[in-house]
Amino acid sequence: MEERKILYSAIQPTNNLTIGNYIGPIKNWISLQNDYNCFFAVANMHAITVRQVPAELRQKTLEVIALYIACGVDPEKCVMYVQSHVPAHAELCWVLNTFTYVGEMERMTQFKDKSLRHAENINMGLMDYPVLMAADILLYQTDVVPVGLDQRQHVEIARDIAQRFNNAFSPTFKVPEALYAKIGAKINDLQDPAKKMSKSAENPNGSIFLSDDRDTVIRKFKRAVTDSGSEIKYDPETKAGISNLLSIYSAFTGKTVAEAEADFAGKGYGDFKLAVGETVADKLFPIQKEQARLLADKAYLEGVLRSGAERAARAANKTLSKVYKKIGFYQL
Ligand code: TYM
């Protein structure tokens, strides 16, 4: 891999991925894959911070890899792998734990949210989650991390940890930058546009899953909560529902928000919601078909993962061995 900058991102193989996961990070991955050396992981070690059904976790891991490829991530150009296949992630996480303060982790918004939602299981992993994510990113000397806005705090703590380590020893880690989609860095829930669209939403009508069939997609958009008034105009402050739908439409058509508004000038909310639903359904169908085709070819997917794990481990172990040397671990 020559002189290109490094791009790193990952998704947890939990629940069903939504169009938020696609619009926020994955679309950016696809447009940047020719310009960066890219690493895309399936974050199964993060996933177990909340209880998972083992057979489902195993299956979803393959589904997510197949989805990356079906969305247009090119396995010839990018390294795609499963986080647990590269032991350096857990190893660096342990070292970085000693450069992270308990108070910082207790203040993380996602930790606080998840502690409320999983009050019966506030395990150490849940709290340590951002440190593992920092290890993911820092192992690859990453320049940019394309994520949705909900990951902002986690990328910031990764930067802090990198700087802290670099200052304690000497420059070891590249300090990464988060990269957000221009449109759609935060796609909101269709039933409650003040909230992020989530894989684990209580009301499934609020989320469009990448696996939803055409009728379901259109039905959910038809039921989407809109705002008072009748104009189709982008104004997240006063028209959160309509603005969210405009963002989704722009992301799926490649049009600017102004062009999207122009498409619906003089039209009613009903027509608009139907058009957004049809646009999204049209786009999802070929992705679903390709994902199903890939999932039927397990040998191919395992080949991608095997080669991905090897290439990822090679890059990761370089950083890990530098770290071990700096902190004084006796090496043979
Ligand atoms: P996860 O699995 O929750 O989400 C995967 C990615 O999707 C983005 N996203 C959204 N973007 C826009 N609108 C939404 N409604 C929306 N919902 C989710 C997330 O911001 C994320 O980019 N901790 C990470 C996974 C991870 C990771 C990493 C990411 C592990 N290690 C290293 C980057 C670098 C997570 O749980 O994402």
Ordered alpha helix ranges (H), the chain: 19-21, 27-32, 44-47, 54-71, 88-97, 102-106, 109-117, 124-139, 152-168, 214-222, 240-253, 257-263, 269-295, 298-327
For residue 240, which amino acid is it? Answer: A
Whose C-alpha lies nearest to ligand 1, atom 34? 9
pLDDT of residue 228: 86
pLDDT digit string, tens, across residues 169-222: 999 999 999 999 999 999 999 999 999 999 988 899 999 999 999 999 999 999
Whether 191 lines ligand 1, by a CB cut-off of 6 Å, is no
Partners of residue 196 on adjacent β-strands: 188
Q: Which atom of ligand 1 is nearest to the CA of 199?
A: 17
Report the C-alpha gap between 232 and 263 in whole angstroms.
10
Inter-residue contact 244 to 225 (CB < 8 Å): no
What's the pTM?
0.96
Q: Which residues of the chain have pLDDT under 50?
A: 1
pLDDT of residue 304: 98
Whether 50 lines ligand 1, by a CB cut-off of 6 Å, is no
What is the dihedral sign for C-alpha 311, 25, 143, 140? negative
CA of 172 to the centre of ligand 1 (A): 26
Question: Which residues does the annotation mark as catalytic?
Answer: 114, 196, 199
pLDDT of residue 2: 57
Q: What's the whole-number average pLDDT of the chain?
A: 96
Measured from the Cβ of residue 101, the count of other Cβ atoms closer than 10 Å reads 10
CA of 4 to the centre of ligand 1 (A): 24
pLDDT of residue 202: 86
- Token pair for residue 270? 């009903």
Q: Which of 149, 151, 156 to mutate to test the pocket of ligand 1 (most atoms within 8 A of CB)?
A: 151
